[in-house]
Chains A and B, each alone.
Chain A
Amino acid sequence: KAGVTQTPRYLIKTRGQQVTLSCSPISGHRSVSWYQQTPGQGLQFLFEYFSETQRNKGNFPGRFSGRQFSNSRSEMNVSTLELGDSALYLCASSSNGEWEITDTQYFGPGTRLTVL
């Protein structure tokens, strides 16, 4: 099976702009989670989607949003970019079912976002 893919791999934006990142999960996986990774804060959970519904979200401002499509592909959007949004954004999929919450996370290669 192909792994989790993320596009684009690298992105440079300026403050105030918005950005959309894309994630395609492993075939058959319906759960997609997004994480922000920075040297100072480590891996921080953004949100998780299952069957097009956001099941849980972390402690990020409303500028960070996401969605999931019927084919389980997911996008996350960051509006009004700030310098502090520079980070590696990782998407992870799992085979969690509707009532399963503890399965392995398979991470994609990430999108490296730089905000100037």
Chain B
Amino acid sequence: GQQVMQIPQYQHVQEGEDFTTYCNSSTTLSNIQWYKQRPGGHPVFLIQLVKSGEVKKQKRLTFQFGEAKKNSSLHITATQTTDVGTYFCAGMGDSGGSNYKLTFGKGTLLTVNP
């Protein structure tokens, strides 16, 4: 079945440093979504990427979808303590027919030292 690998598992940075998490799928994806889960909270949708090579920005966050639609990345510039949490990627398969499930990566836990 489809697998989505996410690295690193943990990342600790000093406030102001940059942060990147990477997501790789074993199969081609129709789209990829990114979620953030604060400690003790639930996942909250950040963005969805659909097109090959797509790049989207949200303030200090930059999301990329690979040309082959099998990998993606999330980059945060100049981290802040409010960025703390676990970042998940979630891929939707591109196998044709009905496939109504997202496969989540295991997430990257980001901690920020003020």
Contact = CB atoms under 8 A, between A and B. Distances in A.
Contacts of A108: 42
Interface string A39-54: 0011111001010000
Contact of A109 (B30, B42, B104): B42
B32 to A, nearest CB: 10
Nearest to A96: B100
A9 to B, nearest CB: 11
Given A50-B100, A102-B30, A43 B92 contact: no
Interface in B24-66: 30-31, 33, 35, 41-45, 48, 50
A33 B48 contact: no
Instruction: Name, among A55, A96, A102, the residue most crowded by chain B CB atoms within 10 Å (CB to CB).
Output: A102
Interface in B58-89: 88
Given A104-B48, A107-B44, A48 B101 contact: yes
B51 to A, nearest CB: 12
Contacts of A56: 98-101
A58 B101 contact: yes
A96 to B, nearest CB: 8
5 contacts: A43-B90, A43-B104, A58-B101, A102-B31, A104-B45
